[in-house]
Amino acid sequence: MLNFPVPYPDELLYSVVARAGVRHGLVSPKQLLGEVFGSRGVIATLDLPNQLSALLRWLPDGFTLEKLIYEHTLFPIYAPFVPEDRRKRCMMQMAGRAHGAVHLALGVAASRIKIPSYIRYCPGCLAGQQAQRGEYFWQRAWQVAGVDMCPDHGMLVEAHIARPAVQRHRFIAASPDYCPAVEQPAGESASLWVERQVRQLLRLPARPSPSPDQWTAYYRHLAGQLGLCRGQSQIDHRQVRARVMQIWPVAWLARFHFIGEASIGSESDWLVALFCKHRKSFSYLQHIVVNHALLDGSWQIREVIERARRYPANSVSRHTPSCADDRQEIDGDQSRWISLLTQSTPKQARRLDPALYARLYRKRHGWLLEVNRQYVGAPPARRTPRVDWHQRDTQYCLALQHLAAALQADNHGPRRSKSYYLKQLGGRSTIEKNLYKMPLLATFLSDRAESIAQYQLRRLHTTYEALRKEFLTPPRWRLLRGAGLNEQRLKEPARGYLEKLSIAHEIQRH
C-alpha cells in the first residue's frame, strides 16, 4: 500500500489506519481492511489493537512492534501493573490475531474502571494539529479513562462516535464533521492529577514489569514509612482510606466506582487488597489514586514503578514475632492446631477454626505446611456411616412400584417420566448421581417411565372415552382439543391411533 501515513507522535494506530483510508479515498471499510491488513474481518479497536505485524509492512524501517505498541497504543498504561510473563504474552498477541484476549489478560474487560462511552477530543489541540500538520488525528491521552481534560485548553469533548462503534469494522478519522469546535470549560483538579501521571505512563519505554511480590513489598514499606501500621506488620486500613477520602473528591471517586457499598468496607474492598499480598493486578488509576493520597504533590508514577522494581522478587516474607507474649500465643495456637488434626483432616480443621488457621498461616507458615503434610493422609477419628445402597435401592424400588400400581387406576395426571418418579422420592439430584449403584431402581425407571408418545396415547384414549358419552364416534378435532394436542406435536403412534379411529368412523357412516 503506497503512501501509507507515518504515525505522528502520540497518535493512535486507529487514527493512522483511518487517515490511510482518507488519503487513498477508500469509502468502503471492508476495502480499507483488505488493503491494510489483508483481511476483511479485522475489528477497528481503539485502545489495544491487534494484527500489528501487518501494519509494519507499510511503515519505515525504524518502526518495530515494540515501538508501535509503546508509542501508539494504550498498552503502556497497563504494562507496568501486570506480571512480566503476561506483558510479553500480550505483546505477542497484539502482533497477530488476539480475538479479545489482550483486553481480558490486562483486566480491561472486567475492570471497575469503564472505558469512555465515546471517542473524545480536545478542540484546542485539534486546531493546533490543523495549523501544524494540516489535518486532524486522534491522540492517545484523550481516550484514557480518568483523563477528562487537556492541561492547556480545558475539558475534553465527546465526538459523535460511540465506543464500541456500531460499525465495528470501520476506522473513522478525526474531522470537523465529528469534532466540531466548541467552547471548553475548565477542568477539575482531580482530572489534572491523573492526566500528569498518565502522560508519564504513555512515555515509559518497554521495560520488565514489577512482579506482584514487588508491588506487595512496595505498598507494605510505604505504609510503614508513613506510620500507617498497627503494631509491627498490620496495615491500618482506616487511616489509608481516610487519606484517600481527604484528598480525592467524593463525586470523582464515585464516578469510577472507587467508593460505594460494594467497594469500601466490604470483602471486595480494593484499598484493603492493594495493601495485602497481591493476588491480582490493579489498574493504573487505582495506583495513581493511592500514591497521590499518600505521597507529596511532586510524586511521579515512573519513580514509583522504579522503586517497586528495585525490591527483590521474593521480598514478601512471613513475619517472625519478636516478643515473648507473641511467642507464647503462637505456641498455644500450635498446640490447638495439632489437637484439631488428631480428630480431623487439615481441611476440616481449617473449617472448624478459621481464625486459628489464619494466625498460623501468617506467623508460622512453614511450620503449618509441614505439620499439615504429616496429617494429610491420616483418616479422621470419626467417620459418618457408609450408605447401604442395596437397602436404599430396594426401598426406592418398592415405593415406586406401589406408586405405579396406584397410578394405573387413574389415566389422568401429568406425564409419568423418569423425572416424575424421582421427584416423588425426594432428593432427585442425589439419586441421579448415584443411580448406577441402584440397579433395581434403574431397571424400574427404564421399564415404567412414560415416553412422550405413550403420554399422548394416554391423553387421547382418556379423551376418547370421555367423548363417547356424547358422540358415537368423536370427531378428530374434538379429540385433539380435549387432549390438548395439535397436529404439529403429534408423534407417530398417536397419529396412527387417530387414523384408526377415523377409519372406524368412516366405516360406521357407510
110 pLDDT higher than 90: no
The mean predicted confidence, pLDDT, of the chain is 85
- Contact criterion met (CB below 8 Å) for 422 and 438: no
262 pLDDT higher than 80: no
Q: What are the residues whose beta carbons fall under 8 Å from the beta carbon of 416, sequence distance 6 or more?
A: 404, 407, 448, 449, 450, 455
- Contact criterion met (CB below 8 Å) for 281 and 107: yes
277 pLDDT higher than 70: yes
Residues 465-490: pLDDT tens digits? 888 777 777 778 888 888 888 888 88
Over residues 444-472, mean pLDDT: 84
How high is the pLDDT of residue 292? Answer: 93
User: Does residue 92 come out as left (phi exceeding 0), alpha (psi in the -120 to 50 range) or beta?
Assistant: alpha
Q: How many CB atoms lie within 10 A of CB 25?
A: 6
Residues 4-34: pLDDT tens digits? 999 999 999 999 999 999 988 888 989 999 9
**β-sheet bridge partners, residue 311:** none
Q: Is the dihedral of CA 481, 487, 491, 496 positive or negative?
A: positive
Q: Is the dihedral of CA 169, 175, 177, 181 positive or negative?
A: positive
How high is the pLDDT of residue 334? Answer: 86
328 pLDDT higher than 70: no
CA distance 12 to 10: 7
CA distance 55 to 16: 10
441 pLDDT higher than 80: yes
How high is the pLDDT of residue 455? Answer: 87
One-letter amino acid at 353 equals D
CA 296 from chain center: how many Å? Answer: 35
pLDDT bin (cut points 50, 70, 90) of residue 124 is: very high
pLDDT bin (cut points 50, 70, 90) of residue 504 is: low
SS3 of residue 388 by DSSP: coil
Over residues 296-313, mean pLDDT: 89
187 pLDDT higher than 90: no
Residues 336-367: pLDDT tens digits? 888 888 888 888 888 888 888 988 888 888 88
DSSP 185: P
How high is the pLDDT of residue 425? Answer: 82
249 versus 383: which is more confidently predicted?
A: 249
**Cα distances (Å, whole numbers) of residue 373 to 168, 346, 370, 414:** 54, 9, 5, 55
CA distance 12 to 74: 8
| Nearest C-alpha neighbor of 284 from the set 221, 164, 200 | 200
How high is the pLDDT of residue 268? Answer: 53
3-class secondary structure per residue, 233-290: CEECHHHHHHHHHHHCCHHHHHHCCCCCCCCCCCCCCHHHHHCCCCCCCCCHHHHHHH
Over residues 146-174, mean pLDDT: 89
**Cα distances (Å, whole numbers) of residue 242 to 176, 202, 283, 290:** 45, 30, 21, 11
In percent, the amount of the chain with pLDDT more than 90 equals: 34
User: Does residue 29 come out as left (phi exceeding 0), alpha (psi in the -120 to 50 range) or beta?
Assistant: alpha
380 pLDDT higher than 60: no
DSSP 207: -
Q: How many CB atoms lie within 10 A of CB 409?
A: 6
Task: Show the CA angle centred on residue 315, arms to residues 311 and 320, nearest 5°.
Answer: 140
The C-alpha cell at 152 is: 492547556
397 pLDDT higher than 80: yes
| Nearest C-alpha neighbor of 31 from the set 177, 171, 178 | 171
381 pLDDT higher than 60: no
- Contact criterion met (CB below 8 Å) for 217 and 316: yes
| Nearest C-alpha neighbor of 287 from the set 312, 261, 265, 307 | 307
Ranked by mean pLDDT, which of 144-148, 323-327, 479-483 comes out on top? 144-148
- Contact criterion met (CB below 8 Å) for 59 and 4: yes
How high is the pLDDT of residue 82? Answer: 93
- Among 74-83, 238-247, 308-317, the range scoring the smallest mean pLDDT is 308-317
**β-sheet bridge partners, residue 229:** 235
This prediction has a pTM of 0.62
